[in-house]
């Protein structure tokens, strides 16, 4: 079974090819710009580097958030389009456990930047993703949450980011419904907040 894994919950998007639970190839995607979206070209280049094509894929695994709106929407659109076009299943996994690449077993307070001075944080027992449900909290509260839980803080603050290849270590659950699935952004966008404020009496 050859699987494409991708995550774009942060500016450091990553892609990986997995086969039978092993990582065949992995790469970090060049940062997107206003005029260039490099995620799909990176997917095609990674497959080519492993002497594979899209037709060789058996399934796709996509980081489902929380995270940045643009990255998550882009990854989800690519994953859904490929899954539909190839007639293969799509699995959605939380992005926070993907931070735990090469981490020893333990309890972690995994964080990602949520913007506006906030962090997404999940208390995760690793290996696995037990406790991967996340909270949106002010950045200043992360340390106390971790201390209270007896957890080690990991995330961008410690130089760690989601890595798509960690999907090889996780339970993917059941495939998503391609027509209805959307990533979990974790919070409303600034535009949604402005519209809501404008609509308030």
- pLDDT tens column, 115-147: 999 999 999 999 987 767 899 999 999 999 999
More confident residue, 188 or 71: 71
Q: How far out from the chain centre does Cα 30 lie?
A: 16
In terms of pTM, does the model score above 0.75?
Answer: yes
Helix, strand, coil distribution of the chain in percent, nearest 5: 35, 25, 40
Instruction: Give per-residue pLDDT as tens, 69-95.
Output: 999 999 999 999 999 999 999 999 999
Instruction: Report how far residue 130's alpha carbon sits from residue 27's, in angstroms, rounded to the nearest whole number.
Output: 26
CATH code for the structural domain at 2-95+162-187: 3.30.420.40
Predicted local confidence at residue 131, as pLDDT: 67
pLDDT in tens, 18-59: 999 899 999 999 776 655 689 999 999 999 999 999 999 999
Indicate if the pLDDT at residue 201 is higher than 60: no
User: What are the residue ranges spanned by the domains of the chain?
Assistant: 2-95+162-187, 99-158
**pLDDT above 70 coverage of the chain, percent:** 91
**Closest to 74 in 3D by CA, of 193, 160, 162, 183:** 183
Question: What secondary structure does DSSP assign to 16-59, as a single string?
Answer: EEEETTEEEEEEEPPPP-SS---HHHHHHHHHHHTT--GGG--E
Q: What is the pLDDT at residue 199?
A: 54
**Comparing 105-114, 126-135, 183-192, which segment has the lowest mean pLDDT?**
183-192
C-alpha span between 94 and 105 (Å, rounded)? 19
Rounded-to-integer distance, Cα 57 and Cα 46, Å: 13
Please give the Cα distance from 143 to 26 (Å, whole number): 31
Which conformational region is residue 128 in: left (phi greater than 0), alpha (psi within -120 to 50 degrees), or beta?
A: left
Q: DSSP character for 130?
A: B
Q: What whole-number distance in Å separates Cα of residue 155 and Cα of residue 171?
A: 21
Q: What are phi and psi of 40, to 5 degrees?
A: -65, -45
pLDDT of residue 35: 54
Residue 187 binned pLDDT confidence (cut-offs 50, 70, 90): confident
What is residue 170's DSSP assignment? S
């Amino acid at each position: 079974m050859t699987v494409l894994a991708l995550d774009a919950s942060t500016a450091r998007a990553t892609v990986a090819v997995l086969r039978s639970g092993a990582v065949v190839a992995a790469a970090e995607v060049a940062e997107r710009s206003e005029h260039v979206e490099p995620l799909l070209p990176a997917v095609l280049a990674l497959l080519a580097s492993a002497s594979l094509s899209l037709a060789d894929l058996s399934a796709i695994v996509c980081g489902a958030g929380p995270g940045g709106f643009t990255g998550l929407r882009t990854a989800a659109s690519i994953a859904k389009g490929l899954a539909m076009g190839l007639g293969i299943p799509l699995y959605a996994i939380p992005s926070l456990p993907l931070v735990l690449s090469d981490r020893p077993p333990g309890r972690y307070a995994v964080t990602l930047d949520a913007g506006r001075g906030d962090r997404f944080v999940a208390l995760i027992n690793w290996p696995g993703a037990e406790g991967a449900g996340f909270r949106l909290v002010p950045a200043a509260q992360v340390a106390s949450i971790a201390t209270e839980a007896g957890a080690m803080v990991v995330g961008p603050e410690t130089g760690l980011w989601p890595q798509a290849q960690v999907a090889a270590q996780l339970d993917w659950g059941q495939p998503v419904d391609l027509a209805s699935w959307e990533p979990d952004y974790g919070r409303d966008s600034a535009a949604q907040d402005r519209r809501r404020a404008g609509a308030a009496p």
